[in-house]
Amino acid sequence: MLEHIKSFASGFFVTGDPMIYGADVSILLTILAVLFTLTYFKKWRWLWKEWLTSVDHKKIGIMYILSAFLMLFRGGVDALLMRAQLAMPNSNLLQPDHYNEIFTTHGVIMILFMAMPFMFGLFNVIVPLQIGARDVAFPFLNSLSFWLFFAGAMLFNLSFVIGGSPDAGWLAYPPYSELMYNPGVGQDFYIWGIQISGIGSLMTGINFIATILKMRAPGIKLMKMPLFPWSVLSSCIAIIFSFPILTATLALLFLDRYAGAHFFTLDGGGNPMMYINLIWMWGHPEVYIIVLPAFGIFSEIVSTFSRKKLFGYHSMVYAMMIISILSFLVWAHHFFTMGSGADVNSFFALTTMLIAIPTGVKVFNWLFTMFRGRITVRTPMLWTIGFIPCFIVGGLTGVLLSVAPADFQFHNSYFLIAHFHQVIIGGVVFGYFAGLYYWWPKMFGFTLNEHIGKWAFWFWNIGFYVCFMPQYVLGLMGMTRRVVSYSWDKGWWPLNLVSTIGAGLMGIAFLFQAWQIFHGIKHYRKNRDTTGDPWNGRTLEWSIPSPAPHYNFAVVPQVSELDDWWEEKQRREHNPYVPPAKEIIEPIHMPKNSGIPILMAGFWFMAGFGFVFHWLWLTVPGLAGVAICMLAHSFNDDSDYYIPIEEIKETEAAIRKVTTS
Amino acid sequence: MKSSSLKNVQKHHSDRHHSHPDMEEMRTFGFWIYLMTDIMIFGTFFATYIVLHNNTNGGPGPADLFELSGVIVSTFILLTSSYTCGLAVLALNKGKKQALIGWLAVTALLGAVFIGLEINEFAHMVHEGATMSRSAFLSAFYTLVGTHGLHVTVGLVWMIALMVQLSVKGITPVTKRKVNIISLFWHFLDVVWIFVFTVVYLMGVK
């Protein structure tokens, strides 16, 4: 019996590597510490009622961003491990198998479990506030989206300690991701982790399209809407058309592995190239999905901190919509070397180059917004200014890569690695950081220390160039991606060492950010944002207190123009004696909290875990639980309530008391 | 919060919606967007089928396996169920609860027969050795047609749950929206089936 358990456990848990045992211990200690703290301070009830079951978009947004930071930490550790391995030739720090797992999890985590939730967090916190809404269109679905993302992310991360991590690269190309070459469970963790969180992403896409199209306050015509919601709309349109392709493709891969199908296998008539086409039909739009909202954030920030209306508002809107559509027509540029022929490659090279046009329009618009503006360089603006040159270089190397014949040289080299890190760190990550710093006071009601923030920025920015500029050269010198080590005679050592130093600088930058947040929490009282408008903003979210009350707007705003809050402030300044419009407070219709989303995500987790280990006894109850949760929700009529007028008045008075004291 | 004492406020407010949009209309709108995502899923499976349908790996091909007469019967059953689903919505609009539940029941019954015939077809094919793992063509066939069947099955469970809700709660703005949504779903599956019938069966046996 004991032998039986022993043999099961040695296959079930990941064993052998001291680094993994160390990680096991630290994970266990962290879990115990969290459980102990919650129990000791009697916070379980609070956690359940105020957060886990909340359908409030602001709280869901904060939970998304918190998860994104945890995942940034893990993905960052993966990155540092890789750079440490490559710092010296013939390094033995990581075994090849382990290295394969690390670059796979680094990619998946950074794109799907860091960038996506970070982005959804900002959507959630800001979009309803900017369009004068009290919540998203489907608050229950929103909570479910978050919990599905969380269940998927946890399932994926579980592979670190149970069963073994996936190791077939972040997009799991067959035939290597097929059962024949990859018989472990890692690839199944990959499939189900992404599948479950992908359903959540898809529903968020639906939710925000409906929110933006249907929930705008009176007067916000589409062309009077701030640019961030526009960017969210363009991103969500790409989500609803591309994520189903991902779901379908991973389902096919799963059928290959689970049911012996022959979609992408080498035998039985399967075609691995089919997978590569399908996955990039999602994968390319995906990078625009994550970068478009960053464009929206920069547009908001650049206009606020230049004290000017955004230059070329209309062209910005059209540019984002065109990018959203064009993003579906470029997928084959990821595999010019596949052998599709000159005609196909020319088409995709041209469409890829075309995308540079709307993107260039946006860069010029940002620059012209700053031109003759009264610029104040606070941290959000600093990230924006850092972003522009970085993104231009990243974009230009992208144009180089789009030249199909030249791509035969660049393909899968470190040149490519440097390019996509430059657009994703320089564009997406810088953008989300800018947004986080910009909206932090609105989310939490206090401002962060600018001084530490500037240190964090400079470490990130300098670290970025030190890390990735050498990689362009390494790529041209012939270093290909995913190599675990190289010999002395290649001559790659000095540049690799510099690159590793740059990665270390970015690691330090992350520590500065963590310090900045702890510092902010510690000096919370001193740095309270009592104005609700710390940056002298232009859009509606700055017209309400920080943090926003749970119903957001006591009275739904009437909007008459773009940058309405700015214009309102100008009117008040010029004409202080005009009494504000009489505001009639009415009972507010709000959704009720629900425990079903977290429960349902738990059942999905069960089902996914069962699929990974081929345990039908776990999968079947899991899926049945999902169905029961859906029916329970369908039969529940008690899903909303009204906040009475007195309560609104009390809340508003309490906020005013704090802000004037 | 203090929701229980607010019944009259709620009533008072249900007829002036200028401060927030009509929830039921918005949910219907959301469902339209969902249908677009479902089109993408089916589109991916269709594309896969079209690419792989000649890769029979030396095994049986479409012409060897499909019996068109059975599929035509299935098709007419599903088309009829779409018609009865339309009758259900007509009954809904006239406020006739019994007729509505009745037509939904007929629709569900026809849907169940369709699923039964499909399972029978699949079982027959598996019995002849044409399993999913036989060839890429069969993998793509079972996935495409099976996904449609799975959708119909989910629709059946949903429809039964809705009939229970209708008989308990009657026709309310909420149940009305739900009937409209499931009818959208049902017609959508019918349209998808037309494509399955054409691309898989008709073009397969020609």
pLDDT tens, residue by residue, A370-407: 999 999 999 999 999 999 999 999 999 999 999 999 99
Tell me the pairing of strands A588-591 and A640-643. Answer: antiparallel
As a whole number, mean pLDDT of residues B199-203 equals 95
- How large is the angle between the packed helices A57-86 and A116-130, nearest 10 degrees? 150
Range of the domain at A268: 43-540+558-660
Cα dihedral value A433, A436, A439, A440, nearest 10: -130
Say if the Cβ atoms of B33 and A209 lie within 8 Å.
yes
Long-range contacts of B41-47 (CB under 8 A, 24+ apart): B41/A244, B41/A245, B41/A247, B41/A248, B41/B147, B42/B144, B42/B147, B42/B148, B42/B192, B42/B195, B44/A244, B44/A245, B44/A248, B44/A249, B44/A278, B45/A248, B45/B140, B45/B143, B45/B144, B45/B147, B46/B144, B46/B195, B46/B199, B47/A278
As a whole number, mean pLDDT of residues A159-166 equals 90
- CB-closest option in A205, A218, A263 to B136: A263
Structure confidence by residue, pLDDT tens digits, B126-153 = 999 999 999 999 999 999 999 999 999 9
- Total domain count for chain A? 1
Say if the Cβ atoms of A263 and B134 lie within 8 Å.
no
Instruction: Assign A21 a pLDDT band (cuts: 50, 70, 90).
Output: confident
Q: Please report how many Cα atoms fall inside a 13 Å half-sphere around the Cα of residue A229, on the Cβ side.
A: 32
Q: Which range, of A5-14, A411-420, A537-546, B103-112, averages the lowest pLDDT?
A: A5-14
Say if the Cβ atoms of A244 and B44 lie within 8 Å.
yes
- CB-closest option in B48, B161, B169 to A274: B48
Q: What is the ipTM of this complex?
A: 0.94
Q: Are A399 and A357 contacting, i.e. CB atoms less than 8 angstroms apart?
A: no
Q: Which domains does chain B have, with CATH numbers?
A: 23-202 (1.20.120.80)
Say if the Cβ atoms of A259 and B45 lie within 8 Å.
no
Instruction: Give me the pLDDT at residue B3, please.
Output: 42
Q: Which range, of A24-38, A114-128, B45-59, B75-89, averages the lowest pLDDT?
A: A24-38
Instruction: State which H helix or E strand residue A232 sits in.
Output: helix A227-259
Return d(Cα A215, Cα A611) in angstroms, integer.
39
Q: For A311, phi and psi rounded to 5 degrees? A: -75, 130
B48 Cβ contact list (under 8 Å, min separation 6): A248, A252, A263, A274, A278, B140, B143, B144
Long-range contacts of B49-52 (CB under 8 A, 24+ apart): B49/B140, B49/B141, B49/B143, B49/B144, B49/B199, B49/B200, B50/B199, B51/A271, B51/A274, B51/B140, B52/A263, B52/A269, B52/A270, B52/A271, B52/A274, B52/B136, B52/B137, B52/B139, B52/B140
Query: Over 50: is that where the pLDDT of A525 sits?
Result: yes
Mapped onto helix, strand or coil, the DSSP state of residue A235 is: helix
Q: Are A590 and A640 contacting, i.e. CB atoms less than 8 angstroms apart?
A: yes
Structure confidence by residue, pLDDT tens digits, A548-607 = 999 999 999 999 889 999 998 988 888 877 666 667 888 998 999 999 999 999 999 999
Mapped onto helix, strand or coil, the DSSP state of residue B15 is: coil
Please name the residue of chain A whose CA is at the shortest distance from the CA of residue B21.
A215
Instruction: State which H helix or E strand residue A641 sits in.
Output: strand A640-643
Chain B touched by A650 (CB under 8 Å): no
| Residues of B with Cβ-Cβ distance to A634 under 8 angstroms | 161, 165, 178
Instruction: Give me the pLDDT at residue B11, please.
Output: 41
- CB-closest option in B9, B20, B140 to A263: B140
Say if the Cβ atoms of B143 and A589 lie within 8 Å.
no
- Residue A303 DSSP class: H
Say if the Cβ atoms of B52 and A274 lie within 8 Å.
yes
- CB-closest option in B10, B132, B140 to A260: B132
Nearest to B117 by CA among B75, B56, B87: B75
- CB-closest option in A215, A240, A642 to B3: A642
pTM metric for this prediction: 0.94
Alpha helix segments (H runs only) across A109-185: 116-130, 139-158
Distance between start and end Cα atoms, chain A:
69
Q: Are A181 and A166 contacting, i.e. CB atoms less than 8 angstroms apart?
A: no
Say if the Cβ atoms of B20 and A252 lie within 8 Å.
no
More confident residue, A352 or A638: A352
Name the token pair of A229.
């919601």
Residue B161 buriedness (CB in 10 A; 0-12 / 13-18 / 19+): middle
| Residues of B with Cβ-Cβ distance to A244 under 8 angstroms | 37-38, 40-41, 44
Residue with tokens 């690159």: A499
- CB-closest option in A241, A627, A641 to B40: A241
What is the DSSP track for A65-100? HHHHHHHHHHHHHHHHHHHHHHTSTT--SS-HHHHH
Instruction: Assign A142 a pLDDT band (cuts: 50, 70, 90).
Output: very high
Share of chain B above pLDDT 70, in %: 90
| Residues of B with Cβ-Cβ distance to A263 under 8 angstroms | 48, 52, 136, 139-140, 143
As a whole number, mean pLDDT of residues A147-173 equals 94
Q: Are A292 and A234 contacting, i.e. CB atoms less than 8 angstroms apart?
A: yes
Return d(Cα A561, Cα A271) in angstroms, integer.
54
Q: Which residues pair with A413 in a beta bridge?
A: A480
Return d(Cα A372, Cα A307) in angstroms, integer.
10
Return d(Cα A17, Cα A430) in angstroms, integer.
35
As a whole number, mean pLDDT of residues A311-323 equals 96
What is the DSSP track for B84-142? HHHHHHHHHHTT-HHHHHHHHHHHHHHHHHHHHHHHHHHHHHHHTT--TTT-HHHHHHH
Mapped onto helix, strand or coil, the DSSP state of residue A527 is: coil
Say if the Cβ atoms of B3 and A268 lie within 8 Å.
no
Query: Over 80: is that where the pLDDT of B48 sits?
Result: yes
Query: Over 80: is that where the pLDDT of A318 sits?
Result: yes
Q: Which range, of A205-209, B20-24, B95-99, averages the lowest pLDDT?
A: B20-24
As a whole number, mean pLDDT of residues A418-430 equals 96
Instruction: Assign A10 a pLDDT band (cuts: 50, 70, 90).
Output: confident
CB pairs under 8 A between A and B: 143
Radius of gyration of chain A from Cα atoms?
25
Query: Over 80: is that where the pLDDT of B12 sits?
Result: no
Q: Which range, of A14-18, A516-520, B12-16, averages the lowest pLDDT?
A: B12-16
Closest approach of chain A CAs to the CA of B34, in angstroms?
7
Q: Which of B6, B18, B19 to mutate to test the interface with A (most CBs of A within 10 A)?
A: B19
Instruction: Assign A12 a pLDDT band (cuts: 50, 70, 90).
Output: confident
Structure confidence by residue, pLDDT tens digits, A32-67 = 888 898 888 888 999 999 999 999 999 999 999 999
- Say if A15 falls within a structural domain: no
Say if the Cβ atoms of B30 and A207 lie within 8 Å.
yes
Q: Are B108 and B166 contacting, i.e. CB atoms less than 8 angstroms apart?
A: no
Query: Over 90: is that where the pLDDT of A16 sits?
Result: no
Q: How far is CA A53 from CA A71, A134, A593, B172, in A?
A: 22, 18, 6, 28
Instruction: Assign B72 a pLDDT band (cuts: 50, 70, 90).
Output: very high
Chain B touched by A631 (CB under 8 Å): yes
Q: Are A120 and A205 contacting, i.e. CB atoms less than 8 angstroms apart?
A: no
Peptide bond into A441 cis (omega under 30): no
Instruction: Assign A2 a pLDDT band (cuts: 50, 70, 90).
Output: confident
Return d(Cα A123, Cα B147) in angstroms, integer.
32
- Say if A102 falls within a structural domain: yes
Cα dihedral value A478, A484, A489, A495, nearest 10: 70
Say if the Cβ atoms of B19 and A586 lie within 8 Å.
yes
Return d(Cα A35, Cα A43) in angstroms, integer.
10
- Say if A146 falls within a structural domain: yes
Q: Are A533 and A543 contacting, i.e. CB atoms less than 8 angstroms apart?
A: yes
Q: For A585, phi and psi rounded to 5 degrees? A: -85, 130
Return d(Cα A505, Cα A427) in angstroms, integer.
19
- Say if A317 falls within a structural domain: yes
Closest approach of chain A CAs to the CA of B2, in angstroms?
7
Residues 124-183 on A with a CB inside 8 Å of B are 134, 137-138, 141
- CB-closest option in B1, B29, B178 to A641: B1
Residue with tokens 């001084």: A451
Instruction: Give me the pLDDT at residue B6, please.
Output: 42
Q: How far is CA A637 from CA A631, A633, B26, B175, in A?
A: 12, 8, 17, 11
Radius of gyration of chain B from Cα atoms?
21
Say if the Cβ atoms of B139 and A270 lie within 8 Å.
yes
**Domain containing residue A60: CATH number:** 1.20.210.10
Instruction: Assign B21 a pLDDT band (cuts: 50, 70, 90).
Output: low
Return d(Cα A60, Cα A146) in angstroms, integer.
7
A70 Cβ contact list (under 8 Å, min separation 6): none
Q: Mean pLDDT across chain A, nearest whole number?
A: 93
Instruction: Give me the pLDDT at residue B14, please.
Output: 42
- CB-closest option in A202, A261, A644 to B132: A261
Please name the residue of chain B whose CA is at the shortest distance from the CA of residue A135.
B20
- Say if A3 falls within a structural domain: no
| Residues of A with Cβ-Cβ distance to B44 under 8 angstroms | 244-245, 248-249, 278
- Say if A256 falls within a structural domain: yes
Structure confidence by residue, pLDDT tens digits, A202-258 = 999 999 999 999 999 999 999 999 999 999 999 999 999 999 999 999 999 999 999
List the beta strands (DSSP E) in A506-572: none
Instruction: Give me the pLDDT at residue B7, please.
Output: 42
Nearest to B82 by CA among B169, B18, B155: B155
Instruction: Give me the pLDDT at residue A653, please.
Output: 86
Return d(Cα A26, Cα A504) in angstroms, integer.
22
Residue with tokens 């793509």: B140
| Residues of A with Cβ-Cβ distance to B13 under 8 angstroms | 586-587, 589, 642
Q: Which residues pair with A446 in a beta bridge?
A: A528
Q: Nearest 5°: CA angle at A387, between A384 and A389?
A: 125
Instruction: Give me the pLDDT at residue A31, please.
Output: 86
Say if the Cβ atoms of B37 and A261 lie within 8 Å.
no
